[in-house]
Amino acid sequence: MSRILSAPQLGFFKMLPAALQHVLLAAATPQRHMDGETIHRRGDTTSSLSVIREGAVVVSNVGMDGRELALGLLHAGDTFGEFTLFSDMPRQFDFVASGDTRIDVVDREKFDVLLDDSPALARHVISHLASRLHQVVELLDDERRLPLPVRLAKTLLAWPADLDDADKLRVTQQNLANALGVSRVALSGALRRLTEAGWLTRGYGELQLHDRSRLEAWIAANAQLVPTP
């Protein structure tokens, strides 16, 4: 799931022209959430788009053993809840504030009015949702075809980087294992492969990537070597 959440380095709100950003925020209601406060729970039926103004939001779910599994981290400028604006299905994940967090919330009724008044906004929404769908299809294809080290490398390139260092990722092995749906043992082996190849350096609760462009080329080369049944 982390790939789905964090792969778009430019989220929906960031992709909008400044004029449309202003229109969207003008219709929003500001909210403040303290560190650890739950914003939405899995199963919530509220329909709204949330834009993170300050702080961060942890996206998580509960595993089979009852433990909370962190699946992604959203930063200022990222959005969540887009799909609830067009479907009556409940939310699939928990959203919890990380640090003092401020968000701007546009409910479904106000968003519908914005779509009627601003056709350009509708085009951006469709483009964004199509991009998310493409990522889901790609993720499913990766799980079917690619070996774990290649899938891990793609996930690392998509993971949100540290705000002060574009090549530093604050992520644990458990986070990555959860995101890829594999065991800690399997994840550790894949990390070791990438470390020995010189693509990253491992630290406590963080990873440092080396030469993203070459890593992208390595992913492309190894993905092409895997035959499609």
pLDDT at 163: 65
**What pLDDT is attached to residue 155?**
86
Alpha-carbon gap, residue 178 to 163, rounded angstroms: 23
Q: What pLDDT score does 65 carry?
A: 62
* Block mean pLDDT (10 aa), the chain, length 229: 38 84 94 95 92 90 65 82 86 91 95 90 83 70 78 85 78 81 89 93 88 89 62
For 116, the token pair is 């009627």
Identify the pLDDT of residue 68: 65
pLDDT at 3: 35
Q: Global pTM?
A: 0.63
Cβ-Cβ contacts under 8 Å for 143 (sequence gap 6 or more): 151, 181
* 210-216, Cβ contacts within 8 angstroms, sequence gap of 24 or more: 210/167, 212/157, 212/167, 215/153, 215/157, 216/157
